[in-house]
């Protein structure tokens, strides 16, 4: 009787250990797949992503490169502008658009990075920035234009403005006027790399 109970305990323990092992393996695989999908979703190739990540670590502590907005609860509204509004053929903005493509959600991409506009004191045209959101997500972007009439927050409430090809924007984004559904949360930090 004691022998049977001991065998049952050993079998039960083995089943639990195997279950925990498979859960850890599955979680590791699914997390890896989700991370890869997120990188693909943002249109960032792994090699480019790695180079940018290295730059971010290198420049993270240089406060002159960081616009820290934590706790301010601003930038939840993420506006957009059509790339065709950039019409000065002699500008750097125009040159970037000539080499850009339209990608996910109608957002314009340059060197596989989504294009945004920010205030002139945050970053310059052609700069790569890391934007962190209050939902703990983040992404790398390239500045393709500068927002007018603002030092940080545009009168419409946005801190970042996506550069898009309007006919390719999802209908709900076009109707609401914001990319909040896709890039959720407030803008908490923008790091110029």
Give per-residue pLDDT as tens, 71-103: 888 889 999 999 999 999 999 999 999 999 999
The 10s digit of each residue's pLDDT in 28-71 is 433 444 444 445 545 444 555 455 555 544 544 445 688 888 88
> Is residue 143's pLDDT more than 80?
yes
**pLDDT for position 32:** 42
**pLDDT for position 149:** 74
**pLDDT for position 51:** 56
133, 38 contact by CB (below 8 A): no
The angle formed by the CA atoms of residues 53, 100 and 35, to the nearest 5 degrees, is 35
58, 192 contact by CB (below 8 A): no
Say which residues have a Cβ less than 8 Å from residue 180's Cβ, sequence separation at least 6. 76, 77, 78
**pLDDT for position 172:** 93
The 10s digit of each residue's pLDDT in 157-191 is 899 999 999 999 999 999 999 999 888 999 999 99
Give the H or E element holding residue 191: strand 187-192
Give the H or E element holding residue 129: strand 128-133
Tell me how far apart the alpha carbons of residues 40 and 100 are, in angstroms, rounded to a whole number. Answer: 17
* Sequence-ordered alpha helix ranges (H) in 42-99: 46-59, 92-98
Burial 28-62 (b: 16+ CB within 10 A, else e): eeeeeeeeeeebeebbbeeebeeebeebbeeeeee
């Amino acid at each position: 009787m004691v022998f049977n109970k001991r065998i049952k305990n050993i079998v039960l323990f083995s089943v639990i250990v195997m279950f925990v092992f498979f859960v850890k393996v599955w979680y590791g695989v699914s997390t890896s797949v989700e991370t890869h999908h997120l990188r693909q979703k943002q249109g960032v190739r792994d090699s480019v992503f790695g180079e940018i990540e290295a730059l971010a670590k290198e420049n993270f502590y240089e406060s002159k490169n960081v616009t820290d907005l934590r706790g301010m609860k601003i930038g939840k509204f993420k506006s957009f502008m059509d790339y065709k509004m950039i019409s000065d053929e002699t500008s750097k903005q125009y040159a970037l658009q000539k080499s850009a493509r339209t990608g996910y959600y109608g957002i314009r991409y340059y060197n596989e990075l989504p294009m945004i506009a920010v205030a002139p004191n945050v970053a310059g045209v052609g700069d790569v920035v890391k934007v962190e959101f209050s939902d703990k997500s983040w992404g790398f972007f390239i500045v393709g234009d500068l927002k007018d009439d603002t030092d940080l927050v545009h009168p419409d409430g946005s801190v970042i403005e996506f550069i898009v090809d309007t006919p390719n924007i999802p209908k709900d984004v076009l109707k609401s006027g914001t990319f909040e559904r896709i890039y959720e949360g407030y803008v908490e930090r923008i790091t110029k790399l």
